[in-house]
């Protein structure tokens, strides 16, 4: 595309919506807007430099993904808004509700409360990464469906990731151990009994597969 | 606090790979913040209450992680996760009280990411302070939790000094009871603090919870062998069975012979701005039989002089009974 063509397109082509889309698509614009809205002036040069994104490589669900990440960006933000992995939910954004639970090197973490830059050399698994290539569901997912484990299910991805961590670490959990393992996840519908039933069934399915 | 669901304010992120490098970054910049697991820090950042220009994230400093045998005791890196502390065979078999305390912190996800050092130096949970109110601790000139109409059910019953907030670190009481030492480094070198001196109250500095000043790093916790295999007692009382800070907790290491207490080290937390070592009680119970009478006397002495606020007088009998159970030797 030549410069002339760009010039002719520009006046009509920029609605607010396309600007916002552009912002999402290009981390550089996000970073420059982030300091526009800061209370401190541009003279806080260290902080302004800090808002520059950096292209890093993340191992997400077994795939290496290149992505522009800002220093203060949380993993939940990167997964949802940069990589389009919206299965990871943001509930409280305060390490309280567990909706954002993902596995980092197989261990459960709150993605809302870790910086993306801290998982550069580690492998991240989200709810999207559970089913196998041929579409077979993970035993935990199958168990949740068979038990009808959730009502509204906003919390389900987080609970399911915690259940996967549990079945990996403890193949034969008691109901009490299961409750403890899921104590970092909240369900506002109050489906805890059905969720525990799902987790117990999931452990059973996982044992059968081994 | 309102939930702000956008980016935290920008900061410059350093991810050093050695303690020297971390100290160097801290020395070269102003308005710095040391990030361990981040679970305490990120609330402050997201709420725009603490706004560092430079964040030094320690996850890549391998010398700060891990548990190793040192002499007759253990040395635990400050960046060791609470999960690893709770699961460590060395910790469980010899200093079980620390494993128990670490295992009862918050939730699995938080223990997986949160570190021993971060748990120890976490800021207080006083909600007036956390909510950004300009109290003494935040540099203002009032304590919102100490007024006649304040909501102060979770606040201090002793050791108040203008500020009435409590220390919320579960592992702190356990380490005081174990006679642990905190190793702190800054560009000037290394200093070692007894656990009970590491935590400071508002009468010393109302804006800090520990001796750490900007530029200091807590690098390791050293646990001497003195109390290895003692009879331990840990109990944490909270409003629900999981995911909560303690209303009060007790940590005790007691060495007995033939039913008589030879020596004891006891700490309570959640009742004061610092964990409180009960040296008077330790002296009292020495040479006494480990039974309920001794426990009662210990509990009475432990809570003598407590000054509850409007809504937290329940903490006095709570602490009294916790000490009583610890001394008489209930199954934990």
Q: Is residue B177 part of a domain?
A: yes
Whole-model pTM: value is 0.89
Separation between Cα atoms, residue A28 and residue A22, nearest integer Å: 10
Separation between Cα atoms, residue A48 and residue A53, nearest integer Å: 11
- Sequence-distant (6+) residues with CB within 8 A of B88 are B67, B99
Q: Is residue A203 part of a domain?
A: yes
* H or E element in which residue B168 lies: none
Please check whether residue B46 touches A, CB under 8 A.
yes
Same domain, B276 and B307: yes
Per-residue confidence (pLDDT) for residue A49, from 0 to 100: 47
Separation between Cα atoms, residue B91 and residue A196, nearest integer Å: 31
Per-residue confidence (pLDDT) for residue B6, from 0 to 100: 72
| CATH code of residue A148 | 1.10.150.120
For A14-70, what is each residue's pLDDT tens digit? 444 444 444 444 444 444 444 444 444 444 444 444 467 889 999 999 999 999 999
- Sequence-distant (6+) residues with CB within 8 A of A196 are A175, A178, A179, A182
Per-residue confidence (pLDDT) for residue A53, from 0 to 100: 80
Distance from CA of A46 to the nearest CA of B (A): 7
Q: Which residue of chain A comes nearest to B60, CA vs CA?
A: A118
Same domain, B312 and B192: no
| CATH code of residue B238 | 3.30.390.50
Question: Tokens 């980016």 appear where?
Answer: B7
Q: Is residue B245 part of a domain?
A: yes
Per-residue confidence (pLDDT) for residue A51, from 0 to 100: 60
- Chain A segment 88-117 residues within 8 A of B by beta carbon are 90, 92-96, 98, 101, 107-110, 113-115, 117
How many domains, in total, are found in chain B?
3
How many domains, in total, are found in chain A?
2
Determine whether the interchain pair B11/A72 forms a contact, defined as Cβ–Cβ distance below 8 Å.
Answer: yes
Q: Is residue B157 part of a domain?
A: no
Please check whether residue B13 touches A, CB under 8 A.
yes
For A206, left (φ over 0), alpha (ψ -120 to 50), or beta?
alpha
Per-residue confidence (pLDDT) for residue B330, from 0 to 100: 75
Same domain, B53 and B107: no
Separation between Cα atoms, residue B34 and residue B26, nearest integer Å: 8
Does A6 have pLDDT greater than 60?
A: no
Domain containing residue B272: 232-328
Domain containing residue A41: 1-52
Same domain, B111 and B253: no
Residue range A127-140: mean pLDDT, rounded = 96
**Could you tell me which residues are beta bridge partners of residue B236?**
B249
Distance from CA of A51 to the nearest CA of B (A): 5
Q: Is residue B134 part of a domain?
A: no
Per-residue confidence (pLDDT) for residue A16, from 0 to 100: 46
Kindly report the number of other CB atoms within 10 A of residue A163's CB atom: 34
Size of interface A-B (CB pairs under 8 A): 112
Per-residue confidence (pLDDT) for residue A52, from 0 to 100: 74
Residue range A112-141: mean pLDDT, rounded = 96
Same domain, B287 and B299: yes
3-state secondary structure of B93: helix
Determine whether the interchain pair B46/A94 forms a contact, defined as Cβ–Cβ distance below 8 Å.
Answer: yes
Kindly report the number of other CB atoms within 10 A of residue A26's CB atom: 13
For B77, left (φ over 0), alpha (ψ -120 to 50), or beta?
beta
Same domain, B171 and B103: yes
| CATH code of residue B2 | 3.30.43.10
Determine whether the interchain pair B12/A71 forms a contact, defined as Cβ–Cβ distance below 8 Å.
Answer: yes
Nearest neighbour of A50 by CB, restricted to B4, B5, B13? B13
Same domain, B22 and B38: yes
For B62-108, what is each residue's pLDDT tens digit? 999 999 999 999 999 999 999 999 999 999 999 999 999 999 999 99
> What Rg value do the Cα atoms of chain A yield, rounded?
21
Residue range A83-104: mean pLDDT, rounded = 96
Regions of chain B where pLDDT drops below 70: 1-5, 331-332
Does A122 have pLDDT greater than 60?
A: yes
């Amino acid at each position: 595309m030549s410069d002339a063509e760009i010039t002719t397109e520009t006046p009509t082509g920029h609605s607010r919506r396309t600007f916002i889309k552009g912002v999402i698509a290009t981390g550089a614009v996000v970073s420059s807007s982030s300091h526009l809205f800061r209370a401190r002036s541009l003279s806080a040069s260290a902080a302004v430099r800090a808002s520059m994104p950096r292209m890093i490589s993340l191992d997400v669900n077994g795939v290496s993904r290149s992505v522009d990440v800002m220093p203060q960006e949380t993993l939940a933000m990167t997964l949802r808004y940069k990589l389009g992995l919206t299965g990871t939910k943001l509930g409280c954004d305060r390490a309280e509700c567990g909706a954002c639970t993902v596995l980092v090197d197989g261990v459960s973490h709150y993605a809302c409360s870790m910086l993306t830059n801290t998982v550069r050399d580690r492998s991240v698994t989200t709810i999207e990464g559970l089913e196998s290539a041929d579409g077979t569901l993970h035993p935990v997912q199958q168990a949740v469906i068979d038990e009808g484990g959730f009502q509204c299910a906003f919390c389900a991805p987080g609970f399911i990731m915690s259940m996967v961590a549990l079945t990996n670490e403890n193949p034969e959990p008691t109901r009490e151990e299961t409750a403890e393992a899921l104590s970092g996840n909240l369900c506002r519908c109050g489906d805890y009994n059905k969720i525990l039933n799902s987790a117990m069934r999931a452990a059973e399915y996982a044992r059968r597969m081994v | 606090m309102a939930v702000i669901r956008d980016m935290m304010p920008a900061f410059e992120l350093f991810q050093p790979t050695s303690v020297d490098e971390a100290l160097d970054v801290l020395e070269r910049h102003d308005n710095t913040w040391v990030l361990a697991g981040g679970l305490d820090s990120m609330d402050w950042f997201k709420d725009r209450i603490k706004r560092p220009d430079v964040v030094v994230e320690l996850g890549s400093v391998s010398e700060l992680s891990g548990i190793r045998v040192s002499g007759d005791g253990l040395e635990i890196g400050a960046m060791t996760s609470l999960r690893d502390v709770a699961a460590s065979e060395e910790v469980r078999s010899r200093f079980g009280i620390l494993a128990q305390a670490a295992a009862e912190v918050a939730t699995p996800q938080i223990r997986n990411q949160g570190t021993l050092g971060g748990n120890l130096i976490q800021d207080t949970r006083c909600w007036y302070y956390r909510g950004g109110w300009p109290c003494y601790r935040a540099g203002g000139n009032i304590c919102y939790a100490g007024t006649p109409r304040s909501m102060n059910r979770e606040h201090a019953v002793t050791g108040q000094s203008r500020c009435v907030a409590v220390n919320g670190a579960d592992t702190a009481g356990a380490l005081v009871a174990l006679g642990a030492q905190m190793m702190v480094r800054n560009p000037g070198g290394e200093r070692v603090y007894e656990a009970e001196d590491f935590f400071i109250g508002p009468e010393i500095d109302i804006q800090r919870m520990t001796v750490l000043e900007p530029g200091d790093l807590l690098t390791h916790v050293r646990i001497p062998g003195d109390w290895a295999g003692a009879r331990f007692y840990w109990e944490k009382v909270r409003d629900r069975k999981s995911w909560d800070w303690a209303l009060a907790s007790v940590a005790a290491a007691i060495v007995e012979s033939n039913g008589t207490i030879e020596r004891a080290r006891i700490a309570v937390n959640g009742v004061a701005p610092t964990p409180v070592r009960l040296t008077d009680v330790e002296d009292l119970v020495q040479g006494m039989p480990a039974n309920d009478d001794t426990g009662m006397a210990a509990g009475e002495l432990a809570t003598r002089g407590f000054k509850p606020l409007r809504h937290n007088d329940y903490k006095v009998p709570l602490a009294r009974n916790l000490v009583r159970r610890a001394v008489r030797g209930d199954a934990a």
